[in-house]
């Protein structure tokens, strides 16, 4: 199970970027249904992306992205 979590979280970003194959997407979606910690991580990441998309559209400065990324990795809300 822990192995699956590592894989799911590693692929989460690609999933959100729409860069995964159908097989990989289904694998992650199935994992999220069974694993609430990963689902929470997924929801959090998806929410951050929505905020970034709202604020920056396609032109989010790299510095802001890095700050948000650091906040995610630090376990703190970015806004
Ligand atoms: Zn998991």
pLDDT digits (tens, 9 = 90+) for 15-49: 988 899 999 999 999 999 999 999 999 999 999 88
Closest CA to 40 of 19, 17, 59, 12: 12
**38 alpha carbon – ligand 1 mean position (Å):** 4
**34 alpha carbon – ligand 1 mean position (Å):** 7
Q: What is the pLDDT of residues 45-61, one digit of tens each?
A: 999 888 888 876 656 67
Dist CA 54 CA 32 (whole Å)? 25
Dist CA 5 CA 75 (whole Å)? 17
Specify the pTM: 0.60
**28 alpha carbon – ligand 1 mean position (Å):** 9
**59 alpha carbon – ligand 1 mean position (Å):** 32
């Amino acid at each position: 199970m822990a192995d699956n979590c590592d894989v799911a979280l590693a692929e989460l970003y690609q999933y959100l970027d729409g860069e995964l194959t159908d097989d990989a997407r289904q694998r992650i979606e199935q994992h999220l249904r069974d694993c609430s910690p990963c689902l929470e991580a997924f929801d959090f990441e998806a929410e951050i992306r929505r905020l970034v998309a709202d604020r920056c559209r396609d032109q989010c400065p790299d510095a802001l992205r890095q700050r948000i990324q650091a906040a995610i990795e630090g376990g703190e809300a970015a806004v």
